[in-house]
A and B are shown apart, each in its own frame.
Chain A
């Protein structure tokens, strides 16, 4: 223990442990609770009427309050996406898989979503997708309540439908 190191010390390892206990915030808490009922909640800007997901206190764009909660659909359109070919630590997904931005029907900005139940090369901008929820009784009120999104098979949306909601 008291022996000096035989090799020159080139680095030291210092492990950080920083625990956190987050407050979700009243706005996001509304959204999380609604996941239990398979509902997706956003909030509407009092000035422009734009709907944000997740619900937020104010519109970053107009700076006006966005305090009115509104339900949006659990389906929407792929606005942009990427094919992931690198495994991510802590995620046991089979690669390649698709991470996409999805504009839910009724929302003015998109959310990040995992696309499954189709081949990566089949995913495209404008593709209609829907949420696949955990079964009843298993939803905890967390983002994991939505397992992933999958294609609905409906016709693709035209570009003008989603171009301002990327």
Chain B
């Protein structure tokens, strides 16, 4: 592997995920997150070279709503800016690329969106092709259910297996003050909940939730000055698959498997199971099982610990959910995870996804030490 520039996460701020913030617009939720992130690294806005935000105007229902985010990101005097209509974890990837190209040394990466103001199922349905799939009225919960059915048919996984995964996440979520769902639930109890879309039960999928997030990235040389324990990026890769649901094997995630293989190779580790914890962007238990299979993780093993934050099942603020996985890994590896800390954690995986039924996957490998010397 060619030597790359060491880049680290040095700060992360997140508003606790709520069902609906009645007092603030999307940009008004983002402002305190940006201020807190900058306060963590002890700089003013002019110390940041580059900014990138992740949101979708369809979610907020405000044409050019992403432009209003510029007002709260400290954009004046002008600096390089990019907006991405994808989860913030992919925005972080863009910032990492810009740092590899030596175009900037510091960046803020923001995710925001008022998920509660529109109808996310309708909005996410528009990601499908307009002629056949979207026209059916397919929504993201339904396509996730199709994927869950395909996985269960191939592997023989049962409703109880899904319930066990959901219960593990719910139990972990009780220790995460930023999670939206913080009440523990037993597998047996979750199995009693009604169908969201069969075979996914309401207890297996997150409620509608919203937040705002801001991650600070810095390259070696700057990172150490901004943070006492920078969390270094060791490897990253992302892969996408076809949009047409029928054109791929929904029971597996080929893109997650490829991305994990490439990211682990960049990180110089044998595989994903070599890390101490993994934060997976899985919004239902079947997706988590599919990702575990793709990454070569045992969902029942103690190490790596999977989703010590409670995962996306305990909170899914669309556009921030994947970025929160990166933020959680930062908190874990920099000693900020408090009650949910994984003891002695030195390396971790943060996964993010975009599109229906795990269409596009990104895998990050991070560590408490620098990757390249």
A144 CB within 8 Å of chain B: no
Per the bound structure, the CA–CA distance linking A19 and B135 in Å amounts to: 17
Main SS class of interface, A: loop
Of the candidates A16, A27, A60, the one whose C-beta lies within 8 Å of that of B70 is A60
- The A1-33 residues at the B interface (CB cut-off 8 A) are 12, 14, 16-28
Contact A60 B75 (CB under 8 A): yes
Of the listed stretches B118-126, B154-162, B346-354, name the one at the interface; the rest are far from the partner chain: B118-126
Count class of interface residues, chain B: 20 to 34
Contact B74 A16 (CB under 8 A): no
Residue of A nearest to B45 (CB): A63
B207 CB within 8 Å of chain A: no
Contact A27 B28 (CB under 8 A): yes
Please give 12 more A-B residue pairs, beta carbons under 8 A apart, in addition to A21-B118, A25-B28, A26-B24: A16-B126, A19-B118, A19-B122, A21-B116, A22-B61, A23-B117, A24-B25, A25-B23, A25-B25, A56-B71, A63-B45, A63-B74
Per the bound structure, the CA–CA distance linking A56 and B30 in Å amounts to: 13
Per the bound structure, the CA–CA distance linking A122 and B44 in Å amounts to: 47
Contact B24 A23 (CB under 8 A): yes
A99 CB within 8 Å of chain B: no
B114 CB within 8 Å of chain A: yes
- Give 3 closest A-B pairs by Cβ, nearest first: A20-B61, A60-B71, A25-B25
B228 CB within 8 Å of chain A: no
CB distance from A109 to the nearest CB of B (A): 12
Main SS class of interface, B: loop
Per the bound structure, the CA–CA distance linking A18 and B117 in Å amounts to: 10
A46 CB within 8 Å of chain B: no
19 example contacts (A-B, Cβ-Cβ < 8 A) are as follows A12-B135, A14-B135, A17-B122, A18-B58, A18-B118, A20-B60, A20-B61, A23-B22, A23-B114, A25-B23, A26-B23, A57-B24, A57-B72, A58-B71, A60-B70, A60-B71, A60-B76, A63-B74, A63-B76
B94 CB within 8 Å of chain A: no
Count class of interface residues, chain A: 20 to 34
Per the bound structure, the CA–CA distance linking A17 and B234 in Å amounts to: 44
Residue of B nearest to A60 (CB): B71
The interface residues of chain B lying within 8 Å CB-to-CB of A25 are: 23-25, 28
CB distance from B108 to the nearest CB of A (A): 12
CB distance from B135 to the nearest CB of A (A): 6
* Chain B 108-138 near chain A by CB (<8 Å), digits 1 or 0: 0000001011110011001000110011000
Residue of A nearest to B23 (CB): A26
B93 CB within 8 Å of chain A: no
- The B12-48 residues at the A interface (CB cut-off 8 A) are 20-25, 27-28, 31, 44-45
The interface residues of chain A lying within 8 Å CB-to-CB of B122 are: 17-19
The interface residues of chain B lying within 8 Å CB-to-CB of A63 are: 44-45, 74, 76
Per the bound structure, the CA–CA distance linking A107 and B60 in Å amounts to: 28
Residue of B nearest to A20 (CB): B61
